[in-house]
Amino acid sequence: MEAYERLVSEYAVRPRFRRTAKDKVGEKGLTNFLGNYKTKTFINSQVLDFEGLAGRLLSSSYVPLPGESGYSPMLDELRKLFDSYQKAGRVHLEYDTETYYAQLTR
């Protein structure tokens, strides 16, 4: 994941890719919107072949599009990254998903 995130960070052409709700609106913004909220973190993983990994990367709004500068070099680097870490033609991406929740009132 660290190598994948470095690649994404290097080629990201749009605003910072790794922002959480808390990063965007801050603690006060979350409290204003949700009131007394709680958080829960879930551990997630994906097992992907190269096409799946490329699809995951290319579905991100912050990476170069076909024809944009950096698109081809990014995919070349992704291939090298995949080849370095793959086992039996697959890579495992592990990450945490943080959720924010609160009781809604009428």
Sort 53 into a burial class: Cβ within 10 Å, 0-12 / 13-18 / 19+.
buried
Using alpha carbons only, what angle is made at residue 85 by residues 79 and 88, rounded to the nearest 5 degrees?
95
**pLDDT at residue 22 in the model:** 64
Tens of pLDDT along the chain (106 residues) come to 899 989 998 998 866 555 555 666 778 888 888 888 999 999 999 999 999 999 999 998 889 999 999 999 999 999 999 999 999 999 999 989 888 899 877 7
* pTM beyond 0.95: no
**pLDDT at residue 43 in the model:** 96
